[in-house]
Amino acid sequence: MTTAAIATYLDTENIALPYCPGCGHKSIVKQLDKALVKLQLDPKKVVIVTDIGCIGLADRNFMTNTFHGLHGRSITYACGVKLARPELTVIAVKGDGACGIGGTHLLNVARRNIGITLLIANNFNYGMTGGQHSVTTPDDGVTPTTPWGNFEQPMDLCATSSAAGAAWVHRATSFDRDLPDVLADAISQEGFAMVDIWELCSAYYRPRNDFRRADMMAMLTENQFKPGRITDKPRKEYSARYFETYQADRNVREDRSKISLQFEHRLDRQMGIIIAGSAGQKIKSIATLLGHAAIASGLHATQKDDYPITVMSGHSLAEVILSPHVIEYTGIDEPAIVVVISMDGVKQAGACIRALPETSTIYAEESLELPDTNAQVRRFAFIEAAKHVGKLSLATVAIGTVLQDTGPFPLAAFTAAIQKNQKPAIAEVNLKAILAGAALVNPNAAIGL
């Protein structure tokens, strides 16, 4: 059984086309219909997306899927639909006003090459709101907002889109006899295609400027705005590239994150630990491993990090809470332990160090000058010990010392966390670093590991 050919995609019986006499929109809508008739697409697989402006009233007449969205954003919805269902034919239709408010979408859809068709009904002004000037209003054009003539350079939409990377760009007018063919051609492109369609606003721009068809055509021959095909450089469409790039096998992550109970902890109360140092000292990752080890020993743990937005400079500070009970409040008002391994750390934790009570202990690199504090201060040659172990081992050395000294859980829990979560070469350095740190407290610390 053959399906009867579709004679029109427009319903103008139930809803009359609303446009002013002489408005170019009516012609554009009818020629888009002719393009669809030529292509004989299944209306259920076609989506016409509009936004605000007189041309945004057009979707109502189409017997396809329609989406009428916010001013200047039709491209974004069209892209959303197309990314969700690449098999659909998605046509965004908007005005020159929408090219101003939604300018960034115009650039980015071209650059990404998402396979929608963009039709711009370009009548050089905001017809829906009283004829104000738009990004395409010609030089000297008189509008309510340019009463003595426009002195803003009109935007060349085709050149702009092409420069942004559009694969297929065409400039036409609503008077062009071949417009349905051009539109059908645009719609048939795999990638992004844009047609800038020049036309007259019979309510505002034309009468105010005595701007007639011949004047518009004259602008097209003045070299400034080239008519016809501007760009035709097809390349692979976005969704195809996406799924080629993010193949399933590239996204299989080794699931190292599960932690099972393997050790026993020795904590009877909550313990807050602050590790204060500099960016690049691996403080964040060591704090996470500390948490892993604690959890593997049956403890609860939380971790928060503090560092400047410029991650490679300045301080790096980690707050870790270990507890035999559920941790409610995740702040550390009085840390049991503060580890300081650099001057950046001293500066950042300065106020905290000054306020520490006698019950707190500071584990400090011996060369650092600390502010006055009531806490117990224990100084260790962390830097010297780390030198013998290798690069980036300073924080691990210090944690080795703390764990050996305070023993909330076995050192073996920490070494196991390192072996499980780090790449072998890095793990090797960190395992040595733990022992070096532990040895600062007890030279026999390695025994039993």
Partner 1 sequence: MSYEFIEGNEAVARAAMKAGCNFFAGYPITPASSIFQSMLDLIPSTGGMAIQAEDEIAAIGFCIGAAMAGRKVMTATSGPGISLYSENLGLATIGETPMVIINVQRQGPATGSATKGAEGDIQFTRWGTSGGLPVIALSPASVAEAYELTYHAFNLAERFRVPVTLLSNKEVGLTRERVDLDAIKLPPRRERIKVAEDEAFVPHGFQSSADVPVMADIGGEHIVRYTTSTHDQVAKLTTNPEIIGDMLAHYNNKIINHVDEITRVKEDFETGAQTLFISYGVTSRSVAAAVETVRRKGRKISSLVIQTLWPVPEKVILEAMQGIKKVIVPEMNLGQYLLEIQRLVPANVELVGINKMNTTLISPRQIIEEGGLL
- Which residues of the chain form contacts with partner 1 (CB under 8 A)? 43-45, 47, 49, 52, 59-60, 63-70, 73, 75-85, 87-88, 104-105, 107-108, 239, 242-243, 246-248, 250-253, 257-261, 288, 291-292, 295, 299-307, 309, 327-331, 333
Q: Residue 63 or 427: which CB sits closer to partner 1?
A: 63
Q: How far is the CB of 423 from partner 1 (least distance, A)?
A: 18
Half-sphere exposure of 252 (CA within 13 A, CB side): 3
Closest to partner 1 by CB, 15 or 218? 15
Rounded to whole angstroms, how far apart are CA atoms 118 and 103? 13
- Backbone angles phi and psi of 105, in degrees to 5: -70, -35
Closest contact distance (angstroms) between CB of 343 and partner 1 is 21
- For residue 229, give the nearest of 175, 186, 280, 275 by alpha carbon: 186
* Identity at 95, one-letter amino acid code: G
Phi, psi for 278 (deg, rounded to 5): -115, 160
Measured from the CB of residue 174, what is the shortest distance to partner 1 in angstroms? 24
User: In the complex with partner 1, which residue's Cβ is closer, 60 or 229?
Assistant: 60
Handedness of CA 204, 205, 207, 208 (dihedral sign): positive
Closer residue to partner 1 in complex, CB, 86/371: 86
Q: Which is nearer to partner 1, 210 or 333 (CB)?
A: 333
* Separation CA 248–CA 71 (nearest Å): 37
Of 95, 56, 74, residue with least CA distance to 174: 95
* Cβ count within 10 A of residue 183: 28
Please say which residue, 3 or 257, places its beta carbon nearer to partner 1: 257
CB 288 → partner 1: shortest distance, Å?
7
Strands 46-50 and 89-95: parallel
Which phi-psi region, left, alpha or beta, contains residue 311 (left: φ > 0; alpha: ψ -120 to 50)? alpha
Kindly give, in sequence order, each residue whose CB lies less than 8 Å from that of residue 310, ignoring residues fewer than 6 positions away: none
Taking the least distance from each CB to partner 1, the nearer of 84 and 218 is 84
Least Å distance, CB 330 to partner 1, is: 6
- Nearest approach in angstroms of CB 255 to partner 1 is 10
Q: How far is the CB of 14 from partner 1 (least distance, A)?
A: 9
Residues with Cβ within 8 Å of 401's Cβ and at least 6 positions away in sequence, in order, are 363, 380, 382, 437, 438, 440, 441
> Based on CB atoms, which residue is closest to partner 1, 79 or 418?
79
Least Å distance between CB 375 and partner 1?
Answer: 19
C-beta of 363: minimal distance to partner 1 in Å? 22
User: Cα–chain-centroid distance for residue 53?
Assistant: 29
Whole-number Å distance between alpha carbons of 127 and 143: 10
Closer by beta carbon to partner 1, 69 or else 335: 69
Q: Which of 369, 386, 360, 379 is nearest to 282 (CA)?
A: 386
What is the C-alpha separation between 293 and 263, in angstroms, rounded? 9
- Shortest distance, CB of residue 386 to partner 1, whole angstroms? 25
Q: What is the CA radius of gyration of the chain?
A: 34
Closest to partner 1 by CB, 7 or 248: 248
The 3-state secondary structure of 384-435 reads: HHHHHHCCCCHHHHHHHHHHHHHCCCCHHHHHHHHHHHCCHHHHHHHHHHHH
> Using CA atoms, how far apart are residues 165 and 162, in angstroms rounded to an integer?
5
Pairing type for strands 361-365 and 337-340 reads parallel
